[in-house]
Amino acid sequence: MRWFLDLIDKHTERTLRRVAHQHGRRSLLSRLGVALVGTAVLPMLPFDRSGQFMGAQAAKPDLSDDPVKCEYWRYCAFDGYLCSCCGGSLTQCPPGTEASKVSWVGTCLNPKDGRHYLVSYNDCCGKTSCGECLCNNNERERPGYRLGVHNDINWCMANTSPMFHCTTSIIVGVA
């Protein structure tokens, strides 16, 4: 009888040791793995360090209404220097320059009334490059091999002086 009890004892002990051994090591390994991955991945997560969650978005100024900013709505297909930064205005060439006889016409959405307008981008000619407020937007523009729909062109070429100074943006119609 004694030998039988010893046998059960040994068997139980062996089974318990094996279970404890395997289970303990696996759970330790899995916990270690989670800790390692966690510490490596946590710093990569995006954090809002500004302390103004979603607030920054709301505070963005509306540049579509400012004629000295390239984001102004009429400049959607503009390529040149803004005449509003060069001593002229949105529609007027600076003193000493004259409007180009030909121009590129773009179609821009006015966010205020939701309508599309035809905007003529006339270059102002007769003085060297203004160099201020370079602006290059290309809505509906196409590459140079399609000349009629390409805006990267000196429109002063048909004037007495082909020197390009800056570009105006004149509304010529509603699309």
Residue 136 CB, shortest distance to ligand ABN, in Å, is: 9
Phi, psi at 156, each rounded to 5°: -80, -5
Q: Which is nearer to ligand ABN, 65 or 152 (CB)?
A: 152
Q: Does 141 contact ligand ABN by CB under 6 A?
A: no
Q: Which is nearer to ligand ABN, 11 or 144 (CB)?
A: 144
Residues 6+ apart with CB under 8 A from 6: none
Tokens standing for residue 50:
């500004």
Site for ligand ABN in 17-56 (CB under 6 A): none
**66 given a catalytic annotation:** no
Nearest to 109 by CA among 80, 67, 149, 77: 77
Q: Does 79 contact ligand ABN by CB under 6 A?
A: yes
Q: Does 144 contact ligand ABN by CB under 6 A?
A: no
Q: Does 153 contact ligand ABN by CB under 6 A?
A: yes
Residue 104 CB, shortest distance to ligand ABN, in Å, is: 7
Q: Which is nearer to ligand ABN, 79 or 141 (CB)?
A: 79
**123 given a catalytic annotation:** yes
Amino acid at 36: L
* Rounded CA separation 13/21 (Å): 12
Going by their DSSP bridges, the two strands 98-99 and 104-110 should be labelled as unpaired
Residue 162 CB, shortest distance to ligand ABN, in Å, is: 9
Of 84, 97, 120, 167, the residue at the interface with ligand ABN (CB under 6 A) is 167
- Partners of 35 in the beta sheet? none
CA atoms lying within 13 Å on the CB side of residue 170? 17
What is the 8-class DSSP label of residue 82? B
- Partners of 118 in the beta sheet? 107, 173
Of 74, 135, 155, 168, the residue at the interface with ligand ABN (CB under 6 A) is 155
Q: Which residues bind ligand ABN (CB under 6 A)?
A: 79-80, 123, 152-155, 164, 167
